Structure 1
């Protein structure tokens, strides 16, 4: 069925492209800071193709449009773009060109690739620039064509900023700033431009609500040897925040003036930046102006990224407590949904709303850490499926319900997935669930030498599924912020390296997810996700060993485990984990019927 709305929008965009001498126009999923989740103002790609997933890039020419996304979203993108005339390019699949490869093969000499330079990271903009130069094509980055077509575009988010007390953060802003300036000194730098929102919030101990489910502030931070300038929307500032900034010698400047300010700044020596997180337009501004003043710029990984990845003692103590309370709440939900679903009165959306309400009652709750994924049966085969009030599946007393959820609290950010048996399931579903559980615990119980990264460990989680010819088209693990974004780097667990970030070694104090899964289109989806803390283990003549400590204490679903697929050591691992769950969260559960259910749900296999 033809999607006339999207086709009309694309026609209007093409008219603007022609007016501006642009042959191809590129629209990523990004804000001005390369954030993972973008506010409604930035959802340009969604406006022009209909795909709502959190990762994708749309490219439009005079007669063609293509949208690239990763394996988490293949099924969803195909459904949402039906009838739009936009071609889906499945990233990473055999024979599928990258965007850069497609442009090199199809653009002609003299043609122009356009994009809004404020939303394309410098690393990507430079890559396109280099590739197109070889075929004598050009880049034009100074026009946001969506602004001219999207007449009812939402406004930039603007919400109050709040302060986290030092005792909650473990370190003051000034202590963290000293560490950053030490890095600047090591690099012989006079200035450092920080554009990554969660890094800015971590460093300043400020939080906000400018991105859904991420407690961050639209901001930039410019640090020199003697001063710090914070660019924010002044409507977000209270007297308390202004006083805090004054006390900490943070100068305030308007968020919208960043380009003009950088254009006028008297650069000297070296200015540090991270081309992954600085936009192409910001990069061009500091690069061109530094060069004109005989100064230099230097690309480094944001030092704040590793600083915030390794949690301090205060953060770890609070995180552990938050995860126990969060685990108890999810366990209560599992009991409730198993009991209520067979009655036929629930659907995916109402189940998710019930869990969201349960979380909101917990001490220190701020907001969800991402929209709750509640996916029943074959909907769960779409990794990031999201039911709505108007579009959802009814729950019945059969099959699996996959629930991926989390919250941000004064004390930590949580993320956990459980696949819940609502009634009769097939032998295949039991097999897939059992092997997913084996993989999750195999990774969680790993012991490894300091210096290992996620690529060294991924096979432990993925191996049981690879052994039966099944893979999941995503990473196994990601870092998690502290009262911040649910996804953070630089560390990750995946077998296939995407960039240098994926080579980051695991260090004590890092928090990360462990979430293998099975996704069979048209049948079912299974994911089991625990959050782990990296801790020191034994140290001997062979070196310092590390291991993981569970932060998630939610039972595995005993009804989905088939012992015939388990080795004795795997049975022991499941039993040990279930006992740990019971011992940890039973004291937090007051209702006798839930206590009795939990005791039975966690008894040895």
Structure 2
């Protein structure tokens, strides 16, 4: 079926069940950012392959809401379909919830699959729609009725993440979690986010491309712990090891029955990540919305993880040096497809040892393609790189002993004065954030401005956040911390704590011209104490040169030049 045929089929289902609008998000039942093919309903219905977006289908309109990272990509992929792009986070443009409330008649009926929405998201929808007496039903999955060739749920095996890398045993982590549960007055702790389950039980999987996680649920009680996962996915030896650590295995789908028959007590849960259908199964008197313990603990890397991350940065940096040496030589002999660069990078990383895979599909954006923030090169349409212009490479590796994420923008010929000015403005913001010292309790929203202020002086900006948390052989985008303009998002409102690893990645993107981004991973650490309290700073971990060809030296202060020289001496 074409996209328009799929939309027509969905509308027939909407007519059958009496819905005026249907909402399709990008997520899975675990509120994952990146999902297995089985859960890519939004991509299937719209043809848009970006990782973020929401589709709304009404009787007469189909809209895709996505953010600035994907505006160009969405325009290209939606062309020829009846899906209309709605740009998020731009002035005077309504978000999808507001649009629904304003464009449906009173007493209309909206539907969505409650397994794919968090409790918080459903609450926002209900609040907005109720003002116009619009009802919301979360009990059906209309897409499942028409997606006849839907990929099955993944069945990849689960494997142990060795304590020599993890730094803490399952038992130690469970003990710390239970101690915090007791402080919060919780008898049970329900965990539905895949990376937090993998971290807590020192397990990894291959169910989601580039993310070493597996589909599961977890429930920790005062005296026992439970893992709900496809039984065939766990090898016998690992089953015995989990049992020895007091972890009981159940089928993945058994979570509903267990929650319906939980013994009395308070169930600690996170409304931002728990899906609405599981929330409904827990009696109201037992619900204890509150802290996501595993997520907070996972974000603060232990000394073993930090030591391994330092080693990984060396290996990853060597692979990138070899890549650019190969590229600079090869483009003098022949044009090189963007896709070949990504393939070559995988080969070089694999040769360094302990490599599991990429942490995301590499973004190899030559010239104008670099302006597409989450560009993905395709063999039939990608650009061919020549010894001129600039190239943006954003890539990362998954190693058993760490996760990397780096972006470099390099000149392949003589850069223009404008390119050098723009690159240097981005670099100045990157350095400002890297050099900053700040009081304990400072949040990502407070620091984000440092990376943008030089661009702002030239009336320039970028539409994405300045940084995100990074996992340890886990998701490359790891909540809760980051650098973001909004103080209400997790990234914007979370205070930094020593041990957190975050990306520092300001950029600038000129449509149909080029893109610039400079990204390093940074480690939060103590900077010292004064009469004004404790102060923190960030140590740069990533090891790879910044292209001096693109720098306009006259724009740098002596302190910025010193930072650059010191970085290149690391």
After TM superposition, the score normalised by the length of structure 1 is 0.92
Shift of 1:142: 1.5
Partners of 1:390 and 1:190 lie apart in 2 by 56
Q: Which residue of 2 aligns with 1:197?
A: 194
More displaced stretch, 559-568 vs 383-392: 559-568
Q: Does the Cα contact within 8 Å between 1:45 and 1:57 map onto a contact in 2?
A: yes
Q: Does the Cα contact within 8 Å between 1:27 and 1:115 map onto a contact in 2?
A: yes
Q: Which residue of 69, 88, 92 maps to 1:72?
A: 69
**Is 1:129–2:126 an aligned residue pair?**
yes
Shift of 1:497: 2.6
**Is 1:308–2:274 an aligned residue pair?**
no
Shift of 1:391: 2.4
Shift of 1:109: 2.9
Q: Does the Cα contact within 8 Å between 1:518 and 1:527 map onto a contact in 2?
A: yes
Q: Which residue of 2 aligns with 1:373?
A: 363
Shift of 1:14: 0.3
Q: Which residue of 7, 13, 16 maps to 2:13?
A: 16
Residues 162-561 of structure 1 mapped to structure 2, 5 A cutoff: 162-263=159-260, 265-286=261-282, 290-291=283-284, 295-561=285-551
Partners of 1:366 and 1:541 lie apart in 2 by 47
Q: Does the Cα contact within 8 Å between 2:198 and 2:213 map onto a contact in 1?
A: yes
Partners of 2:491 and 2:411 lie apart in 1 by 37
**Is 1:35–2:25 an aligned residue pair?**
no
Shift of 1:474: 0.7
More displaced stretch, 252-261 vs 399-408: 252-261
Shift of 1:267: 4.1
**Is 1:145–2:142 an aligned residue pair?**
yes
Cα deviation 1:393-413 (Å, max 9, x = unaligned): 111111111111111112100
Partners of 1:90 and 1:444 lie apart in 2 by 31
Shift of 1:335: 2.2
Partners of 1:274 and 1:93 lie apart in 2 by 29
Partners of 2:491 and 2:341 lie apart in 1 by 37
Q: Which residue of 2 aligns with 1:586?
A: none
Cα deviation 1:324-380 (Å, max 9, x = unaligned): 211121122122212222333311001111111111111110111111111110111
More displaced stretch, 304-313 vs 436-445: 436-445
Q: Which residue of 2 aligns with 1:570?
A: 560
SS at match of 1:118: helix
Partners of 1:238 and 1:316 lie apart in 2 by 30
Shift of 1:130: 2.4
> For structure 2, which runs of at least 5 residues remain unmatched after alignment?
none
Cα deviation 1:262-281 (Å, max 9, x = unaligned): 22x13413111111111111
With over 3 angstroms needed to count, the CA separation of the structure-2 counterparts of 1:123 and 1:267, relative to structure 1, is: farther
Partners of 1:342 and 1:142 lie apart in 2 by 59
Partners of 1:493 and 1:182 lie apart in 2 by 30
Cα deviation 1:448-484 (Å, max 9, x = unaligned): 1111111221122111111111101011111100110
With over 3 angstroms needed to count, the CA separation of the structure-2 counterparts of 1:342 and 1:427, relative to structure 1, is: farther
Shift of 1:313: 0.7
After TM superposition, the score normalised by the length of structure 2 is 0.98
Detail structure 1 runs of 4+ shifted over 4 Å in the superposition. none
Partners of 1:24 and 1:151 lie apart in 2 by 22
Shift of 1:65: 0.6
**Is 1:52–2:49 an aligned residue pair?**
yes
Shift of 1:5: 1.4
**Is 1:160–2:129 an aligned residue pair?**
no
More displaced stretch, 449-458 vs 70-79: 449-458
Partners of 2:491 and 2:314 lie apart in 1 by 30
Cα deviation 1:572-593 (Å, max 9, x = unaligned): 222222222xxxxxxxxxxxxx
Shift of 1:501: 5.0
Cα deviation 1:550-590 (Å, max 9, x = unaligned): 1111101111112232223222222222222xxxxxxxxxx
Partners of 2:492 and 2:221 lie apart in 1 by 30
Cα deviation 1:137-171 (Å, max 9, x = unaligned): 11111211111111111111110100112232111
Partners of 1:548 and 1:189 lie apart in 2 by 34
Residues 112-123 of structure 1 mapped to structure 2, 5 A cutoff: 112-123=109-120
Q: Give RMSD over aligned pairs.
A: 1.3
Partners of 2:257 and 2:11 lie apart in 1 by 30
Partners of 2:266 and 2:354 lie apart in 1 by 42
SS at match of 2:76: helix
Matched residue count: 570
Cα deviation 1:484-517 (Å, max 9, x = unaligned): 0001111111222342552111111110100011
Partners of 1:500 and 1:352 lie apart in 2 by 31
Q: Does the Cα contact within 8 Å between 2:525 and 2:536 map onto a contact in 1?
A: yes
Partners of 1:167 and 1:500 lie apart in 2 by 31
Cα deviation 1:116-147 (Å, max 9, x = unaligned): 11111111012112222222211111211111
Partners of 1:521 and 1:253 lie apart in 2 by 51
Q: Does the Cα contact within 8 Å between 1:213 and 1:371 map onto a contact in 2?
A: yes
Partners of 1:193 and 1:357 lie apart in 2 by 40
With over 3 angstroms needed to count, the CA separation of the structure-2 counterparts of 1:58 and 1:516, relative to structure 1, is: same
Q: Which residue of 98, 103, 109 maps to 2:100?
A: 103
Q: Does the Cα contact within 8 Å between 1:341 and 1:422 map onto a contact in 2?
A: no
Shift of 1:107: 2.0
More displaced stretch, 561-570 vs 122-131: 561-570
Partners of 2:252 and 2:542 lie apart in 1 by 39
